Structures are given as C-alpha cells and as structure tokens.
Structure 1
C-alpha cells in the first residue's frame, strides 16, 4: 500500500521557513498565543539521529540453505550505513563479512534515478547495503552498491566487481547460480559469472517503454517491485513491457533549486489512463519475445507473476476496479493461457504477493482468499480445483512464512488479536499452534523458517522491550541472538491498552510519566484509520515518541476503527465508496468511550495528528468535527482523491465516472470551501518533493481555506519526499507539532 505513516528516507535539503497562510477576516479566529519551544530536546534529537532507536538493530536476516549460518544487515547506532554480517549457528558468534567502505574505497555512494524511485516505493531509506541476494546453493552473495554489483564468495570472503554498466536495478541470481540478471537503461541484461561478461537480453527499452521495471502502481500499491523473472531452468526470462506514453505526467521540482528543472514522472490519476503492461518471454541469449495472451482490456492490471520450479509460469490479473481477478497458467512456448481460478468481491479484492505458492512437485498450489469473510489459505490442485482450507479466516493470518511440505506444516505470522502478532504453525489444516521460543506475555512477534523447518528466526518486541532477533531450533530451544548495537531508549513508555465502546475498538493510551491521578489533561489522537494500516500495537517502539509528547502534559491516544485491517473483510470494507464517514465517526466515538473509561481525559481539549492517510483524517477532523477535535496537525494529506493514484483510490472509491459522489464526499475541499462551517486550528505539513502524495494536495487545501476565510498554518519541508529522515528536520517538525497543540489545547 502507498499511504503510510511517516518513515525514514533519503533527503537533500534542510527545513524551510514556516509559511503562515491567513486571510484578514479570520486573523482573530486562531491567532498564536504561546511561543514556539526553543530549548533543545535531548530525547527528540536522539530519537531522530538513531532513526527511532532502530538503527543498529539486525534486519534482513536470512538462513543459508545448509542452515549453518544466518546472514543479516546492520547499520550503525547513529548512521544508516548498513554492512553485512554472518551469525554462526554452531558457535553463536557473529562477524562482519563485508562493508561498503571496503568496496568503494572511500568513494561516495551514488544511485540512479530508477533506483532512487524504487527505494522510495519500498520505503527504503538506509544507505550502504540495503539488500543482498544469496545463490540457491548458498555459496555466493550478490550485493548491489552505488549502482554497481559485487559478487562475494562466502568461503573465502573475496569480493569481485561485476562488469556491468552503471545504474543496475533489481539484480538477481539465476536458479543455477551461473548468471545474474538485472535492469539497466530500461532493458534487461544478463551477466555470465564465469567470464564476467554482460549481454543485453531485451532491446528497445526507453523511459516511456520500459522493459523489466515494475510500473508505478505495481510498486506503490500492488507490492510487486520487480518486472522480470527467471525461468526455473535459467534458459528464459519473463519480463514486463510498460508503456507510459499515454499516462499523465506530473511535474516535480526542487523548489530550492529551480535551476535544476523539473522531473515529469508518469502518475496515473483516478479515471485516467494507466500504464499499458504486457508480459513477454525471451531466451536469455536474446531473440524473439513471445507475448503472453490474456484479455488485457477486461483485466488491465498484471498484479502477480511467479515462475516456480515445478508448475507453470503463473499470472494474476485484475480488472480496473479490482472486483474480479483471474489466476492464469501460461504456455511460454506460444503465450497462450488457461484459467486456474476466478475471484470476485462486490467491494474489492486484497492482494498478497506470497500467493500463489506452488508445491515443490507442481501438484498444486496454496491460494489466498477472503471469500469466507477473512484471510484464508487454501490448498488447490494443479488445475485450480479446491482441495481443502489450511488456514481458516478466524486464525488471523497476516503474513505467510513457509509451507514445509514434508511435515504438512504451514507457518504464518499474525493471530486473532489485531494489536498482537505471533508465529503460528498449522498442520494439515488443523488448529493453529503458537510457536514462541522462550518468550512470554503480550507482544508483537514475527518469525521466519528455514526450508526444512529445522531452524527459526524470531523477532520479539513488547510494550516494555525493543525488537530483538533470536535464532532457535524447531523445538523452541534457542541457539543465540543476532547482536544489536542500537542505542536503547532512555525510558519505557507508560502505555495502556483497551477495547472501547460497543464495537470494541482497539486502543492505546500513553500518560505522562509524572501524571497525577484524577488530573484532567488534554488529549492528542495519533491517527491513521486507513484501510491498510493499524496503529495499536503491543510493542515499545511505536510509543516512544508518544511518551515524549505525553510528558509535555498530554494524554496520547490511538484507535483502530472500521476500515482498518485485521478484523475481517466486512470491518475493513466499511469504507467502500466513502472515506469520510465511518472512519471519522469511529475516531470521535472512541474519544467519547475513552473519556467514559479514563477520568483524566478532558473532552473539551482533544487534538488529532497524522501523516498521509492519517494526515487526511486529521484535516478531515478539523474541518468536519471541530466540536470534538479542537486542534489538528495534518502531514502530507491526500486532499482530493481525484489527485491520488488509480490502483489505490479506485479500489476503495470506484471509478470517478461511475461514483462521482464518492469522490465528492471524500474530498477535503468539499468541507474547506463551506464558508459557514468553522474549522479547528490546523497546521499543514508537507514535503515539497513528495512523489506519492504531491505537494499540490496541501496547496489546494490551503488555497481553499484561504478563499473561505479560514485561518491555518502551512509548514513546507523543502526538498523532502513522503518520508522525513533528516534528524534536524525531524526534531524541528515535532517541535512545531507540539508547539501547535500547546498553544491551542493547554490552559
């Protein structure tokens, strides 16, 4: 999904001066009454510099095929420069394998525009090694760095720069480990490792007709980040051709450097033309492409592509409104397809890129569906016929981990409580069994499993502990812990969890550490409320900034209402054709329910803040329910859904030509232009280089408010995208946020 809470990413420039937008008739409506904070805050600086106290913790851990080693990446405590490590299962010791400095010899890392865009779509903000590939036999590691590729021999530790051209994107080993393929200059290339020789596979790629690159909505919304796939015998490559010549181009300009000109990426808005995508199969030595045939007029979205060891090249294609999709098996020789199954939903269909998951012998596949009211995994035959259900809807599947066929055991992360997560094992479709190697209590845990099922990687966090990653045996006995060098937070958040109201909203509440029982305090609601994200998690990390905010004299609350995931299909689909109704009313109802349960809540002093979809919700609250929400901070909001991208927006609101009313009532402009409606004090924040929710969204809202005579404030973050990684910018931003709430909510 695209609309995410603010995360870390590369930045180019510092914070711009704040721009106060007002109009004369409204100057007395919400004038600033208290000065901005000026005393440096040690916690906020540390929070920003350590990337929310996450830098220096192991990530991207992977078990080698022989199950003797666990590879992982780790950054520095106060710098996101990641290096490669290896944990030895036998000894329990970890060692550094490779560093960017050893490869670049002091040179500065550079990225191509395509790689920068891909990392933005994947929400990757670290530098150094951000990914790595392990050959199928585990003998070699492929590391991309600064647009180049390096082959690392695990046995000797020697690294070799592969002789590719510059600007390599999406590199991967061939199944036999003898070649590497990647995209460069809008075409697919192959490099033979034995001779270190590069050969072009596809021809004719251009910026408007790319070969092997996933188009914008595939990366941003479908979570399909690749546009090419090896055949299991390494003789062919399947690749996408994406034609964006007919897609609307929107200009992105670095407002601090207008001399650099503008970028004009293709950005498909609702009701307008999408990229035209087709799939071809070509011999790795080059030659003629066989184009895959399906009814692209009826099913224009190529959502998923898999080419398993056994079983056919398989595609999942969707119609424009994502209410119907077909799973197709392909004959690569002539491009013909046969249907394996069809899924339909009156509202929309959810995508999970883990499926279809073909069995090792090709006799069938695992399939994801919400046909029966919740996430379910089915076992189906090679012809698509249903065999049986393996994971039932009530199990709470969130992430498929692995299917160990010899044991008939399916592992997944999730569980029935949406504020918690654990690793579960289901055998032969039976009841889920929780897998917890040595941990107890409420927590957010995720696990991965080796191919044989003998070794587990297990990450644990709780309301009182930051994430720690353990290595364990299948019987639950621990082997060791992947070492962290992260700076630990200076305090443990004082957080409480409740289920509120008749609908049992999941909620969290953070109190000041020096709070006095019975003392009335203003409330800040941290909101997202969108259909792909929950904000109530029983883990420590999400509540660190909340505690800092609370310690300044506030109660900090979060609520997951209808429209959010993890509580069944009907709960999530309550937002169909309207983003502005149940989402906001549930937040207001949750505030009232919290006040009934917690005497310290002052209902007369409630604020709300959020980013992305949460920014939309915060602005909506200020415009539509100022009787409940007395102040708001809106970060990077989608203002008019006609200006967001096709695949996300049309999934929930339909086509604007068919449902104009859905777009009208979901638009912030509808409420901003109503001159007779009051507005709560509103601070708008937005990165000027945002290529997900463009900066013009906030400018449109500011203009509408200005013309309607409604005072507000606008803080542009110059040169920043949808994510804000710079420590100084992060520090100053949250100082502004808290300054806004102090002025308008504190007595």
Structure 2
C-alpha cells in the first residue's frame, strides 16, 4: 500500500448511484456554492494535476556529465516529451515527442502494462520512462507497447522490431542488446541487426517468465522480474506461478457486456504466487534454477547482478521477520549465505541494497533502532557503519569509492528532506544547490560525483529542479512550463502533545483571530507514509478547503515512518489502536495551543489507509470526529494482500485477534455504537483495495441501522487522474463537511 504522501485520489459521481440510506434521510440541502475564485482554483488544480504537470521529472545525467535528460509534460496535459539540458550552455532542447513517433496514431497499452503503471502510480502518458545506454550514446524509449532506439548525436529514432506489448525494456551493459518481456516470456533484440530472439519458453498468464508478481510490485517495490548478467551473456529471470492463487474478478458495472477481468490476488493466510529464479543463456537454452529453502523463505524480495559482485538475492520468510542475503553460483544454482537479518515485528525492505563495491557491499539495516548503512566484506562480515541511524536516511543515492563517501536523501527531521553526504562514517553534511531555508529536496548524482541534480520545494515555492556542481555551485535549472498557483498556502508547522507529534495547520486566508472554526483532519497514519511536509505543493488543496471556513490539520502519530523503528512498530498486531488514538490526542493538543479550534466540529478525511482511518474514526471515536469521508478504505484486513498485511498483523491463523480488532466490520456491526456522518467513496475497478471492501462496510452499516452515504466511482481504480472527476469529488467532500460541521 504505497501511497503518495499528500494525495487524496479523485472520484466520479455516477448519476445512477444514489447515496445509500439506512434510515430516514435528512432533507437534502441545496448544493453549497463556492466563490468564483475558489471554483477557478479547483478547476486549475484538477486540470494541471495539482500544478505539477509541466515540471521536469525523471532527470538523468549522461555518463560524460555534459547533458541532463528529463521528461516534461504540458501545462494542462500529462503527455510527456523527452528533453536535454546542456550543462555548458544552460540551454534546453526537445529531443523527441510522442507525436513524432505515433504520427497521429493513438497510444495503446496492454493490460499488463496498465497494471504495472497502476502499481508504480504512473498516470502520465506519452514517454513515462527511458533507458540510457551505459556509454550514453543511445536512448531506449518505450511508447504504446513498442520500443524506439534514439541516437543522441543525430537524434535519429528507429522502431525496434519487437512486436506489440513490450514490458520492462533494458539495454545490456555493452549496449548491443535490448531485453524485455512480451507474451509472458523474456526476449532479446540484437540492436545492430534489429532482430528479435526469444530467450525463455513456455510462459503463460498463470506462469509468467520475467514479470514481477503482484505483491512484488505493489509492496516490495520490485517492479522487474528479469536481470542482465554484467557480461550480457546470461539473463536471470523469475517464474511466477499463480495457478494456486485465489482469483478475484473486476466487472465494469457500466458495461457488464464486457465480462469480468480476473486477477491473482493473494489474501492473508492464503496461497501466494510460487516464485523461483532461473539463469539462462541470453541466446536461450536450458535454465539453471537457483536453490534456496523456498518453504522457509518464500518471498524473493530483491535480485541484483552487479559487476563487482556475484548474482545476489534477498529472500524473506512469510511474516517478514527473517531474511537471508544469498550469493548465487549461476552455473549450478547453488547459494551461500552472506548474512541473516531478524526482527521481532518485521523487517523493512530497501531495494537499493545490497550495493556491491570493491571492499564488499553496502547493506541496509534497522538493527540499531533506525535506518543505517553498513559496509560489509565480501563474505558478509561487518566492517563498519557508514550512515548512522540518527542521520535519517530515506533514500540511497550513490557511493563514491575513491572518496569513501555515501550520498543519500533524507535528514533527521521527518518534515524536511535534503541531499547529504557522509565520508568514512562521519557526520552528515547537507549538499544544497544554492538553496536556503526549510525545504523538501531530493538529489541525484553523476557517477564521478562531479554533477548534481536536485529537486527543491519549500513551504513558499513549488518544485524546481537545479543542476549543480559537487560543491553546491548552481549550474542552471531545468525549465518548467507549469501553471503556477494563484496563492501561497498559509501553513503553520508545530509539534503537539507529550509525544511531540509533527503537525501542520492551514487557516483561512481571511480568518479572524479568535474566531472558532470547524476542523478537518487530513489523515493517512499508516506505517509507510508521513503527511506533514515543508512543502507548498502539499498544502495547496488544504488552503482551498480552509478558505471555505475550516482549519485544516495533519498529524503524524505513532506507526508512521521516519521517527525510528520503535515508533513505527507501535502498530504491530493492531491497526486500530495508537493510530486512531494519536489522531484524537493530537486534535486535543492542537486545541490547547490554538484557541480557534472548535472541538465540537472536527471532521476527518483520507484515502486508502487514510480512508480506513477516517471510517475507523467515525465508528470508534464519534465523540471526537463528528463527520468523516473515507476514500477507498481497507475494511477487513483479511481482504487485503499478504505481503503488506501479514507484515504488520501477522498470519491470521496465528493472530486472529489482530484482524478482529483491526477490522472496520467489528465496529460497524455493533448496533449500540453510534456513527458519525460518513461518506464512502470507492472506485469500482480498484484492483488494489477492491470495491467489495466498501460494499461490505456499507452492508454491515445498513444491517446495523446506521445511516451513511456511498458514492461508487464507475470504472475507476485506486489511482484516479481524470481532472473533471477530481473537481467533482472535492466538491462532494466539502459539501459533506459543510452540511455536518456548519454552525
């Protein structure tokens, strides 16, 4: 359940779907009106994808450090084009457009590619990714299920003769071949002759070759199922057998004639995909299967095949309390153990590790209470700690061996982020491209470390991307064509309560000091995401909501990341305890500091885990939260996926009580328990949190005689990018709070 930290997905009002009523409905109020400027802002917010369309994304420094490549959409359309920024001149030119390739045709995607983009939370069109050959001479650009080779020097593009439906394409290290998955098998294309060769044989929809299974993509952040050997002579690939996995169906309720779309979806306590790793010559032939105790360690979490080390795999046990790092002999499939990690609650995955270097490999651990990077010898023995737990590592960037320096994104304050470097395990030093003040910054680094690309956003500025030298001297800026917001949010950051929860508060821009106002809490509260960020973009919609007469608050309580392993693991075996109580306590603590908070009029809204929290608040703490909007909520954790749910709640056969107290149905069925006014919103085509979650909750509330409203979103998934839908959804959300939290 990986979520954008401050995104509430949009929704669609289908006229045929009336609210569900379980008792006499209150008289419908007339539609609440907004001012013309508020209407204009919401329209702009939706059409510009939160004012992010038209900003540079996916920057990549070429090996010669002379060029920075990046993608950029149009101001009001997410059709992305490929650009090149010249480091010497500071000039930017357009390299390639989707229109030039398609020549008037429409972009089409296979069901597998659509699902992959859903897992990666990609809603853009046109060029959504590109590959750069190791020498930097060529680009590999996928579009509409086909592949195009671009010569950087001439700009010439050539369609590779792969056939349609190409997934996960990548150059070999020598740039002479391109590998990819098509029709459930791995293929190789020889660039010089533009000739395709099948590598694996016999892949089917139920037994795929080279594709990452659902939980690997959705929960492990492992989006690939195949890997080149460093010499390009072999390929490692996964075989994912889902024949024993429960099949769940999605039907387009507006078009029942199209039939159902079935997917293998593993629910807690039930069968997972059986995944094994094979090594095969790049020319095809016999597969050597890698050997490990798959009964004890069924999850293949990470695979790397580096130049400086062996083919390496990380495997986990079912509950993710133990994992082993194994070196693989590709010739025999035999493995040898490098290290074992254990945790009483669960282990966090970091796909950037292991990083093989001359001295051995870098390793990620939380053994000492927080994210830490260690240097280990080639046999797995600990050499020394490079990045200490208190440094606040959130994303590994690069290790420069000559300088013995680690670069990473993060920092000790969870509400901020910067690019840092640490030499020889010493004190971290922030690397900033001429920027100052509190901000959210994330950086990338060239192979030699001479050039940086840093994205910068602050409480008063939208994201900008700077190119700089290693000492922080700014070279230039990747140009944006985005529409800029018409205002800067009025955000206050503070820490509240005895536990010092990080909090943000947005007031109406025309608020009168001392005037009591209703409060809306924007919540996520899950163990993978924080919502309090020093970012203007994060609070634009909050300001729009606030200007309609509300205080908008966010709190990061126990269970959220970035405040140490113990803080995050407070939710172990219980999602319904400290997560909700911390939100309630934070509201009370905020009221003690801010006299304008009206504790008699507090609402709460969220999406996904945040939707679960909102519905939980309406069911369990209606004394605090007087109205709620729950978007795409997980209702019964027995119905979510294995890898996420069992990590936190354990196996249902071993901990049935954890699932019982964490289920919304437990509280919905209690007829003596009151319910705050609740609006449920859910996409009918959601293949992450299935629509039946909300239907189960609605049914339980209906049978318990509890009035609520349900807005089904016809044909929409967990990620809802349509601008009109976004606009209508937020109108509904605000009308709900205006009806129930008004004086």
Report what 2:376 is aligned to. Answer: 380
Structure 1 Cα separation of the partners of residues 33 and 122 of structure 2: 31
Report what 1:620 is aligned to. Answer: 616
Structure 1 Cα separation of the partners of residues 9 and 233 of structure 2: 37
Report what 2:365 is aligned to. Answer: 369
Whether the 8 Å CA contact 1:10–1:125 is kept in 2: the answer is no
Whether the 8 Å CA contact 1:443–1:460 is kept in 2: the answer is yes
Report what 1:297 is aligned to. Answer: 295
- Cα displacement (A) at 1:37: 3.9
Whether the 8 Å CA contact 1:163–1:196 is kept in 2: the answer is yes
Change (3 A) 1:8 1:75: farther
Structure 1 Cα separation of the partners of residues 5 and 638 of structure 2: 21
Report what 2:79 is aligned to. Answer: 81
Change (3 A) 1:460 1:6: closer
Structure 1 Cα separation of the partners of residues 385 and 588 of structure 2: 41
1:106 to 104, 107, 113: 104
In the TM superposition, 1:405-416 aligns within 5 A as 405-416=401-412
Q: Deviations over 1:20-78 (max 9, x none)?
A: 11123xx26x6655534477711111000000000000000000000000000000000
Report what 1:609 is aligned to. Answer: 605
Whether the 8 Å CA contact 2:6–2:531 is kept in 1: the answer is no
Report what 1:282 is aligned to. Answer: 280
- The answer to whether residue 151 in structure 2 is matched with residue 153 in structure 1 is yes
Report what 2:346 is aligned to. Answer: 348
Change (3 A) 1:18 1:512: farther
Q: Deviations over 1:94-124 (max 9, x none)?
A: 0000000001101000001110000000000
CA RMSD of aligned residues (A): 1.3
Report what 1:240 is aligned to. Answer: 238
SS at match of 1:517: coil
Change (3 A) 1:59 1:578: same
- Cα displacement (A) at 1:718: 0.7
Report what 1:253 is aligned to. Answer: 251
In the TM superposition, 1:472-621 aligns within 5 A as 472-621=468-617
Report what 1:314 is aligned to. Answer: 312
Change (3 A) 1:312 1:9: farther
The TM-score normalised by the length of structure 1 is 0.98
1:325 to 323, 326, 329: 323
- Cα displacement (A) at 1:8: 9.4
Change (3 A) 1:425 1:740: same
Whether the 8 Å CA contact 2:678–2:709 is kept in 1: the answer is yes
Report what 1:94 is aligned to. Answer: 92
Unaligned 5+ runs, structure 1: none
Structure 2 Cα separation of the partners of residues 46 and 35 of structure 1: 21
In the TM superposition, 1:383-394 aligns within 5 A as 383-394=379-390
Whether the 8 Å CA contact 2:8–2:606 is kept in 1: the answer is no
Report what 1:131 is aligned to. Answer: 129
Change (3 A) 1:153 1:726: same
- The answer to whether residue 152 in structure 2 is matched with residue 180 in structure 1 is no
- Cα displacement (A) at 1:310: 1.6
Structure 1 Cα separation of the partners of residues 704 and 8 of structure 2: 35
The TM-score normalised by the length of structure 2 is 0.98
Whether the 8 Å CA contact 1:268–1:646 is kept in 2: the answer is yes
Structure 1 Cα separation of the partners of residues 657 and 333 of structure 2: 41
Q: How many residues align?
A: 741
Whether the 8 Å CA contact 1:61–1:72 is kept in 2: the answer is yes
Whether the 8 Å CA contact 2:13–2:712 is kept in 1: the answer is no
SS at match of 2:318: coil
Structure 2 Cα separation of the partners of residues 69 and 225 of structure 1: 27
Unaligned 5+ runs, structure 2: none
Whether the 8 Å CA contact 2:431–2:471 is kept in 1: the answer is no
Structure 2 Cα separation of the partners of residues 219 and 586 of structure 1: 31
Q: Deviations over 1:135-169 (max 9, x none)?
A: 00000000000000000000000000000011000
Structure 2 Cα separation of the partners of residues 557 and 304 of structure 1: 38
Moved over 3 A (4+): 1-11, 13-18, 30-40
Q: Deviations over 1:582-635 (max 9, x none)?
A: 000000000000000001000000000000000000000000000000000000
Whether the 8 Å CA contact 1:526–1:558 is kept in 2: the answer is yes
